[in-house]
Amino acid sequence: MAGDSSSCGGGGGGCGANCSSASAADDAPEKQLGRISIATGAGASCGKCGGGAVVAVAGGVGLCGECLRAHLFGKFKLAVTSNAMVRPTDFVLLAFSGGPASRVALQFIHEMRSKAIESWDASNSQALPVFGMGAAFVDESILSSKPRHEVELAIEDIKSIVSSLLPADKAMHIAPLEDVFSTESVDGEGRLRELVGMVDDDTGREDFLRCLRMLALQKIALENGYTKIMLGSCASAIACHVLSATVKGQGYSLPADVQYVDTRWEVPVVIPLRDCLAQELTLLCELDRLKTLQLLDKPCSSINSLVASFVARLRVSKSVPCMAQWTYIPTLNPPIPN
């Protein structure tokens, strides 16, 4: 699940213990834009509408805040519609971590659903239903050193964020990671600690937890009738996965890993933000004041963390274009059968 960095847009409720404000209340708007801009030559006029000041560059064109939002929403909507990610009869489970990527995914899928409802209400035939949606958060705090009360405050903030957008009759699922192992005869917490303790290296432990996270989402989806699972994985996160998987000798599965729709799971997994960069999503959260949280952010020496650090350095490197992280994806062509 997504969660690249921590910022708080200040919308809806107070910030949790692990939520850091992205900007001080007394910051002037121009200072905020200057601090978070990823544009070269910020302050110039928008290359699309010619109005607002440039805050980001996309495709070589400087964009103002409104045009950046339209640009990202257009990418999201195109990915959803052109790849048949969400059909009218679908029931979509959004994996929500509280980070910028999953926060933007929640906002965009909510807007698409709202527009679909408006079209349905205005239709005379009302033949096609409107897709349903829910959200899930996998609680991994059992493996964290953070005080329980801090985690509970942060989870309440997550519930507040989701409930402000989800339909009132749809549940917000909070699933402890140990539920993957829980049965009538098995202690899930004890089994989880035992298995994690058996993995000696940081990289293996991270990969194991990632797998368990997906199994937890699959369990929620199957038990509650969801037909699709939507992740907030963006181009930056996928670039990290591509590099780390290559280093670990897991390149064979990469073409399937980066597809818009992954049908290898019992409940298909979709990634509509595949073509969006992490810094663009973080910037949008700042501009739209979308509240985000970061629950688990501890230093680690795993291969995954080293690769993430490398990709992060590419973002700020003056000699490497910021789009470099996106170019990892088109080079992964699906395997051709013999």
pLDDT of 13 strictly over 50? no
Q: At what angle do helices 202-224 and 188-198 cross, to 10 degrees?
A: 150
Question: Does residue 58 register a pLDDT over 50?
Answer: yes
Q: Does 23 fall in a domain?
A: no
Instruction: Report pLDDT for 331.
Output: 58
**What single-letter amino acid sits at 172?**
M
Instruction: Yes or no: say if 92 and 228 are a contact pair by the CB < 8 Å rule.
Output: yes
Antiparallel, parallel or unpaired: β 172-176 and 132-139 = parallel
Give the separation between CA 227 and CA 3, rounded to whole angstroms.
24
What is the predicted pLDDT for the residue at 100? Answer: 95
Asked, for residue 9, whether it belongs to a domain, the answer is no
Threshold 0.85, pTM exceeds:
no
Residue 328 has a pLDDT of 56
Flag whether 163 is in a domain: yes
The per-residue DSSP string of 25-46 comes to TT--HHHHHHHH---TTBTBBP
The model's confidence at residue 330, banded by pLDDT at 50, 70 and 90, is: low
Ramachandran area for residue 18 (φ above 0: left; ψ -120 to 50: alpha; else beta): alpha
Burial label for 211, CB within 10 Å (0-12, 13-18, 19+), is: exposed
- Is-contact 208 196, C-beta < 8 A? yes
Q: What is the CATH number of the domain that holds 112?
A: 3.40.50.620
Helical H segments across the chain, by residue range: 29-36, 65-82, 100-122, 148-163, 188-198, 202-224, 235-247, 254-257, 278-287, 303-316
182 vs 109: CA distance, rounded Å: 32
Q: Residue 181 domain-assigned?
A: yes
Within-domain flag for 3 = no
Mean pLDDT over 309-325 rounds to 66
Mean pLDDT of 214-236: 95
Radius of gyration of the chain (CA): 20
Question: In this structure, are residues 42 and 34 in contact, taking their beta carbons and an 8 Å threshold?
Answer: yes
Q: Is 234 inside a domain boundary? A: yes
Quickly state the pLDDT bin for 327 (edges 50, 70, 90). low
Q: CB 124: neighbour CB atoms within 10 A? A: 5
Q: What is the DSSP letter of 251?
A: G
* pLDDT for 79: 95
For the chain, first and last CA: distance in Å? Answer: 35
pLDDT tens sequence across 235-257:
999 989 999 998 898 888 888 88
- Specify if 7 maps to a domain: no
| Residue 34 confidence (pLDDT) above 60 | no
Share of the chain above pLDDT 90, in %: 42
Kindly report, residue by residue over 174-221, the tens digit of the pLDDT.
999 999 987 766 778 888 999 999 998 899 999 999 999 999 999 999
- Domain that includes residue 107, residue range: 29-37+46-328
Tokens 């990823």 correspond to: 38
For residue 280, being part of any structural domain is answered with yes
The pLDDT tens digits of the residues spanning 66-90 come to 999 999 999 999 999 999 999 999 9
Q: Which residues contact 77 (CB under 8 A, 6 or more apart)?
A: 108, 112
Q: How many domains does the chain have?
A: 1
